[in-house]
Each structure stands twice: as C-alpha cells, then as structure tokens.
C-alpha cells in the first residue's frame, strides 16, 4: 500500500487520482506560483537553518525535520529576485525530487487549487533559457495569472547532487 501524507486535509498517496490537476499555490514577491501537489510532502514554518559552507547562494543550508536532514532552497534567490527577511508568513514547502527531500522557502503558501491542463499555456517566449527550464507553463484562472513550475528542474543537476550529499552526510 502506498504511503500517504496529509496535506491540507487531503490524503495524498502514490497513484492517487484525487491529486490530478491539483496544485499548491504560493507567493514570491507578490506573484502567484504553483507546484503540482503530488510533489509536496508537507509545509512547515520557517525554522533554524544550518548554513553549509561552499553551497550555491540559493541553497541556504539544511534543517533538521524530526531527525531528517533536509537541504533548503530560497526560491526567491533561485529566481534571481532580491532576498527578503523571513517572517511569520514565510514557509518551507518540503518536496520530493526523485529520491531527495528538498525544502523550498517561499514568502507565503496560498492554497490548493484545481488547475486543469487546458488552463495552462506555454511558457512565455520572453523567458530566459534558464528560467524557461523550470517554468512548466502559465495558468489563467479568471483574471489571475499563475506561473506553474516544474519542481524537478528547480535545482541544477550538480546542485541537486551537492544537496543530496549534504543531506546524507
């Protein structure tokens, strides 16, 4: 039987069709972003981050979450935005990328939303090659625009390897 995780009152398990077309939305610099909910293990408040020397600037370090060491990425810095002081609304979304758990620091988590594939258009042509790599598409929901991310491409392969090595040390 698939292991299940309670996310926002919904039970998410491997191969669970109830998760199809569901996205967790969050804010960065007052803009809405979304990640498919099946990648989200849990959401925790900001906590003490242990800095690991010689990491890429957007990999802030690691946290100890119930005995598991998890590397954390400041998504603002990953996207080339100006950093900001963390506050009571800052969250860490614990995601699973392949076999690795990674924490994504965001300004604020919004909600779980249904976004059907027909609402997601292609990435804008004006995106740089680097940003186009992790943008899955742009969703139009009413008057709102939500940037849908491909969470598996948020880290470069060498950064993912470094984060994995750090978490397993």
Among 10-14, 101-105, 143-147, which stretch is predicted with the lowest mean pLDDT?
10-14
CA distances to 22, 42, 93 from 38, rounded to whole Å, are 8, 10, 12
pLDDT attached to residue 8 = 42
153 assigned to some structural domain: yes
Q: Quote the domain boundaries for residue 109.
A: 20-168
Query: Residue 37 maps to which CATH number?
Result: 2.40.50.180
pLDDT digits (tens, 9 = 90+) for 67-77: 999 999 999 99
The closest of 5, 2, 33 to 94, measured between CA atoms, is 5
Q: How confident is residue 2, by pLDDT bands cut at 50, 70 and 90?
A: very low
User: 154 versus 93: which is more confidently predicted?
Assistant: 93
Is residue 5 one of the residues assigned to a domain? Answer: no
Total domains in the chain come to 1
* 94 domain-assigned: yes
């Amino acid at each position: 039987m698939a292991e299940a995780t309670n996310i926002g009152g919904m039970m998410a398990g491997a191969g669970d069709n109830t998760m199809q077309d569901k996205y967790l939305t969050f804010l960065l610099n007052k803009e809405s972003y979304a990640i498919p909910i099946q990648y989200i293990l849990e959401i925790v408040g900001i906590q003490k981050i242990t800095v690991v020397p010689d990491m890429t600037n957007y990999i802030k370090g690691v946290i100890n979450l119930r005995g598991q060491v998890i590397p954390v990425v400041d998504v603002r810095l990953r996207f080339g935005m100006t950093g900001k002081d963390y506050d009571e609304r800052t969250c860490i979304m614990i995601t699973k990328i392949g076999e690795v758990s990674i924490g994504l620091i965001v300004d604020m988590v919004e909600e779980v939303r249904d976004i059907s594939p027909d609402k997601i258009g292609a990435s804008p042509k004006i995106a740089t090659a680097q940003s186009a790599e992790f943008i899955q598409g742009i969703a139009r929901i009413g008057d709102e625009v939500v940037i849908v991310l491909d969470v598996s491409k948020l880290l470069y392969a060498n950064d993912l390897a470094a984060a994995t090595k750090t978490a397993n040390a």
